């Protein structure tokens, strides 16, 4: 029976620190602000947007939502980003993924000022991450939150076999860099990986960000492994479930994250923390 990683409790600890930092900055006349741009109504994005807005308000962070219809043009989004880049009350800009098909997400992320790029997706920030630079720059919130969980639960990384399922720029790629920088042996798997189960059974740490409900169950896991479930799938019953069959996997894993209550709350907490980081860096360097 695995130890269950309590993402809610760890997120609460981080949020408490964040609200104290906000109060301190307020005394210096600095009021951290985040803008979320969303086009269309992807369900995971809507859950995220709602939770994020509630949390920001609770921590004293100004939060503005810029909602656009699914058929918004790329130029309209670029104009919005330009405005937010120049807006002194905004420290952090996040454009919800996935973007509609008429939008080239690479052009959008290139347009976000690197100093306000709270998702860490601008090539300048991603490049710093891959170069393992030790300066201040934003890192994708879900990967940063996962690293924090691994650290908190004393999961050894050096020399360990890590398998990441999912190659997205928001999760898989930044995680690859973070874990590689931590001297882990990282394998990136995806949709086209042959014999996925054989590979996942070699993982000391298995990170699943595939967007496929219950892709992974006990038979795919090495006994005692750490299993991190990044999936967030809304079933037709309304229930939220991950990419891992938690009930079977928890019997075989050593450490495991639940959905909900695992990676999700950590993503939000890290987003808030990093919004305050950006405000601090922008005003104090």
Query: Segment contacting ligand GUE (CB under 6 A): 69-77, 200-208, 253-261, 272-280?
Result: 253-261
4 binds ligand GUE (CB under 6 A): no
Report if residue 96 touches ligand GUE, rule: CB under 6 A: yes
Contact predicate 241/233, CB 8 Å: yes
Q: Tell me the C-alpha distance between 26 and 107, whole Å.
A: 34
For 173, the enclosing helix (H) or strand (E) is helix 172-181
Which of 100, 114, 211, 261: binder of ligand GUE (CB under 6 A)? Answer: 261
Site size with ligand GUE, rule: CB under 6 A = 22
Contacts of 198 (CB under 8 A, 6+ apart): none
- Distances in Å between the Cα of 186 and the Cα atoms of 159, 172, 193, 202, 272 are 9, 11, 15, 11, 28
Residues contributing to the annotated binding site for NADP(+): 166-168, 232
Residues 262-281 interacting with ligand GUE (rule: CB under 6 A): 264-265, 267-268
Q: Can 204 be counted among the known catalytic residues? A: no
Select 138 or 264, whichever has its Cβ closest to ligand GUE.
Answer: 264
Give the closest residue to 89 by CA, choosing from 35, 136, 24.
Answer: 35
Give the orientation angle of helix 263-284 with respect to helix 141-152, to 10 degrees: 110
Q: How far is the CB of 198 from ligand GUE (least distance, A)?
A: 29
Residue, CB closest to ligand GUE: 264
Q: Which of 55, 91, 96, 97 is an active site residue?
A: 96
Give the whole-angstrom CA distance, residue 34 versus residue 20: 17
Tell which one of 30, 47, 212, 218 touches ligand GUE (CB under 6 A). 47
Q: Is 67 a catalytic residue?
A: no
Catalytic residue among 55, 91, 117, 119: 119
Q: How far is CA 209 from CA 28, 72, 258, in A?
A: 40, 28, 13
Q: Environment class of residue 88 by beta-carbon count within 10 Å: exposed (0-12), middle (13-18) or buried (19+)?
A: exposed
Q: Which is nearer to ligand GUE, 143 or 160 (CB)?
A: 143
Query: Annotated binding residues, as ranges?
Result: 166-168, 232
Our finding on whether 120 is near ligand GUE (CB under 6 A) is no
96 is catalytic: yes
User: Which residue, 25 or 253, has its beta carbon nearer to ligand GUE?
Assistant: 253
Q: Give contact residues for ligand GUE (rule: CB under 6 A).
A: 44-45, 47-48, 51, 94-97, 119, 141-142, 170, 232, 240, 259-261, 264-265, 267-268
């Amino acid at each position: 029976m695995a130890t269950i990683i309590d993402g809610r409790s760890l997120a609460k600890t981080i949020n408490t620190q964040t609200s104290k930092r906000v109060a301190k900055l307020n005394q210096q006349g600095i009021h951290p602000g985040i803008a979320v741009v969303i086009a269309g109504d992807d369900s995971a994005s809507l859950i995220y947007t709602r939770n994020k807005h509630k949390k920001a308000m609770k921590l004293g962070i100004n939060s503005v939502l810029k909602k656009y219809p699914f058929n918004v043009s790329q130029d309209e989004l670029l104009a919005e980003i330009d405005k937010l880049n120049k807006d002194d009350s905004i420290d952090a800009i996040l454009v919800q993924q996935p973007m509609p098909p008429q939008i080239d997400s690479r052009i959008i992320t290139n347009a976000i000022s690197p100093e306000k790029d709270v998702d860490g997706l601008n090539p300048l920030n991603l490049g710093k991450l891959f170069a393992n630079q030790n300066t201040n720059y934003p890192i994708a919130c879900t990967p940063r939150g996962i690293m924090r969980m691994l650290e908190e639960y004393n999961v050894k990384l050096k020399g360990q076999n890590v398998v990441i399922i999912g190659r997205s720029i928001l999760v898989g790629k930044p995680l690859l860099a973070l874990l590689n920088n931590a001297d882990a042996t990282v394998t990136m798997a995806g949709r086209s990986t042959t014999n996925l189960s054989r590979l996942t059974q070699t993982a000391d740490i298995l990170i699943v960000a595939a967007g496929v409900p219950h892709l992974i169950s006990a038979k795919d896991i090495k006994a005692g492994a750490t299993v991190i479930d990044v999936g967030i799938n809304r079933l037709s019953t309304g229930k939220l479930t991950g990419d891992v069959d938690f009930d079977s996997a928890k019997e075989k894993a050593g450490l495991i994250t639940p959905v909900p209550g695992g990676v999700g709350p950590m993503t939000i907490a890290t987003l808030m923390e990093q919004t305050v980081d950006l405000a601090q860096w922008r005003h104090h360097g």
